[in-house]
Amino acid sequence: MVATAVLALMSGWVVRAEFPRVLSDHGLWDFGAFVASGRAAAAGLDPYGIYPPLTPHVVFPGFESWNPNLNPPISALLFQVFDLLDPALSLRIWLGVSVACYAAAVILLLRRYSGGLEIGLLAVWAFALAGFWDALYLGQIYMPLVLVTIIAWLRLEKGDGLIAGIMIGLLVSLKPNFAVWPVLLFLAGYRFPSLISFATAIVIAVIPAIIFGPKIYLDWLHLVATDGGRAVFLTNASFAGLAARAGLPAAGTFLAVSLLLTLAAWAFFRRPAVIAVSGFALLASLLASPLGWIHYTLFLLPVLLHHWQRPWAWLTGAALIIPVPFILGYFGASRLAQLTTGSVYAWALVLLLIGLIASERERQYAAAQAFLR
């Protein structure tokens, strides 16, 4: 309780600092790329091209990149809605939708995982997370997907495989790195929600192929395959990001593949509880992804709250409220500085992974002792 109260005080300071940054007139950023993608698709052009001035151009000391739309082809259809109004007005509407979705997700989780005074403290922390504020600043699409994830998590806990599967399928259709979740569910024996999620994702994937033709998938895959230069960006919290900043990009691939294979074997042979599988799956979806942006850490809310009484959970939570502008200030610093303090988001996820492993080992030991009795 004391740790949560201290974290809430820190969080209040973060909220006060971040609020004016998001409300300032700072341009469209990623939302502009989404508008450009939808506009290009409507005109029969490549939705994964670069279209200044809507496509943002990011420049920091030692780093420069264009940020086109990287989302799967269904996004080229959905993003056309953003171009129905003036982009600046669309962004303001989208910010309202995003905040509402995130608030709903937080309320659902707090109703499940907290009580008394701690509800208010945890709510302050949840609204201080760096991923939340930066997603709003950039006009990103994560918030509705966070809500979808929370619904899936809670329905899995209740044994409702149908709704959970549909929600996971919606998530995977827009963020394919989360396909780790239904795969691990399938291997662990939770076949129904897994198959429903894949069926949902496949149905959604077929839609843009019918409307735009299969070439749109080639355009998307080409962009994804040639976008490795952004792995070094400091808000990339994946193994690939850590390895790129260390100057050892191959190590990121090795760690990602090792993690996924280890979790696959664990799920298949140990058949753990559905929530344990889901926790590892959500974390692995970030750590093993080529680009695990800070915004993706919002999908770890149920994992953190499920384990909140453990010190490693709230230590991870504390690291994840450090504002993005502070981290971006490490561009141009030494490689060591970028790999240590500048990579605090990635190290927070590594801590969370260690914590989940320790928790699972405790659970297995307790189960073994109970069996021997």
pTM of the model: 0.96
Report the pLDDT value the prediction gives residue 286, as an integer from 0 to 100: 98
Structure-block tokens of residue 198: 């894949």
Closest CA to 114 of 363, 152, 106: 106
What b/e sequence results for 183-199 when a residue is b if at least 16 CB atoms lie within 10 Å of its CB, and e otherwise? Answer: bbbbbbebeebbbbbbe
pLDDT confidence of residue 371? 65
Residue with tokens 């799920």: 267
| DSSP calls for 203-246 | HHHHHHHHHH-THHHHHHHHHHHT-GGGGGSTTB-SHHHHHHHT
Structure tokens that stand for 165 in this block = 């599967």
Neighbours of 153 (CB within 10 A): 29
What are the sequence ranges of the domains in the chain?
A: 2-372
Q: What is the largest CA-CA distance in the chain?
A: 69
* Chain length of the chain: 373
Q: Prior bond to 53 cis, omega within 30?
A: yes
Check residue 45 and give its pLDDT.
Answer: 96
Q: Angle at the Cα of 328 (from 327 to 331), degrees rounded to 5?
A: 115
pLDDT of residue 373: 66
pLDDT by position in tens, the chain (length 373): 677 788 889 999 999 999 999 999 999 999 999 999 999 999 999 999 999 999 999 999 989 999 999 999 999 999 999 999 999 999 999 999 999 999 999 999 999 998 766 888 899 999 999 999 999 999 999 999 999 999 999 999 999 999 999 999 999 999 999 999 999 999 999 999 999 999 999 999 999 999 999 999 999 999 999 888 899 999 999 999 999 999 999 999 999 999 999 999 999 999 999 999 999 999 999 999 999 999 999 999 999 999 998 999 999 999 999 999 999 999 999 999 999 999 999 999 999 999 999 999 988 877 777 766 6
The residues near 325 (Cβ < 8 Å, ≥ 6 apart) are 21
Q: How many CB atoms lie within 10 A of CB 333?
A: 16
